Amino acid sequence: MKKTAAIIILFLFALLVWNVFTFGDSVVSIGDEDIGGPLGAVLATVFAGGGMLLAGLIMLFVGAVLAVVFAGVGILVIGGLAVGACVLALMISPLLLPLLVPLAIVWFFVSRSRKHRYMQQAV
């Protein structure tokens, strides 16, 4: 299958080259001068390929810049969310005091029993 696909691609490329060089309907205008025929086809191919190469390089550069910018924005957003969560926790903390009292009592008993176990293991 791979060999067949390679042969088909080469055949299509050969047809494309034959079409470009035999019909020569590509015309390149440089200044006031029109260049047609096989030379015009070659120049059109070179200029189009150069434009595509330049576009690819520009897209790579823009992608790299956007990756850096969005990473910086992402860090700022995460930092802002962390600061906002701390501020929200400070604002809500007086309201959470009735919930924290039972938690503190449970924590006290757990630490007391743990301390008692450590004392027994030490003896």
- Distance (Å, whole) CA 37 – CA 24: 4
- Distance (Å, whole) CA 108 – CA 117: 14
pLDDT 10s digits, 33-57: 888 777 777 777 778 788 888 888 8
pTM more than 0.75: no
- Distance (Å, whole) CA 16 – CA 20: 6
Residue stretches of the chain with pLDDT short of 70: 1, 20, 23-26, 95-96, 115-116, 118-119, 122-123
Q: Residue 28: in which H helix or E strand, if any? A: strand 28-30
Task: Give the pLDDT confidence score for residue 75 in this predicted structure.
Answer: 79
**Cβ contacts of residue 43 below 8 Å, gap of 6+?**
26, 28, 35
